[in-house]
Amino acid sequence: MSLPQKTATAPEVIGKNTLPGLPKELLEAIAKECDPSDLLALRQASRLVHNGIDRTFLHEYFTDRNHIITVGSLEDLIHITATPRMCKTLSRLTLSMPWLEQRYWGPDPKAVCSSPCMREDHSSND
């Protein structure tokens, strides 16, 4: 029984009239106009396109991160912060514990908070 032989993948054709042949700046301009789901699809067009729009992708998905405190979410966060290109893009991180917030504050944390800075009405009742 013989094993199937590996076939070499064909190199990408880079013609100036093809998507991978566009200048990186133009690829990024196209990517900035895409909806998030379309941006993910565009990244799958080719390796050259994937690399060409990486900065736009990182900005869309890794600038502002929200994580629930669970093992899986924190493992994702560790992976993000261990990857230099993702970590450099991260500028805001929000960690939440919805089960704890719901238990202690209910659906509206401002309704039960006694701190004046958390209330919408900052006037005193003296």
State the pLDDT at residue 20.
Answer: 86
> Exposure pattern of 5-38 as b/e (b: 16+ CB <10 Å)?
eeeeeeeeeeeeeebbebeeeebbebbeebeeee
pLDDT tens digits in sequence order for the chain, 126 residues long: 555 555 555 555 566 678 888 888 999 999 999 999 999 999 998 999 999 999 999 999 999 999 988 899 999 999 999 999 999 999 999 988 877 766 666 655 544 444 343 334 444 444
| Cα 77 to Cα 51, 59, 64, distances in angstroms | 22, 16, 12
Q: Cα separation of 69 and 94, whole Å?
A: 10
How many Cα neighbours within 13 Å face the side chain of 46? 15
State the pLDDT at residue 65.
Answer: 92
Q: Cα separation of 9 and 65, whole Å?
A: 36
| Cα 101 to Cα 58, 63, 104, 108, 113, distances in angstroms | 30, 25, 5, 9, 12
State the pLDDT at residue 123.
Answer: 43
Supply the pTM of this predicted model: 0.60
State the pLDDT at residue 98.
Answer: 77
Which is it for strands 64-68 and 92-96: parallel, antiparallel or unpaired? parallel
Q: Which two tokens stand for residue 78?
A: 């560790």
State the pLDDT at residue 117.
Answer: 38
State the pLDDT at residue 96.
Answer: 87
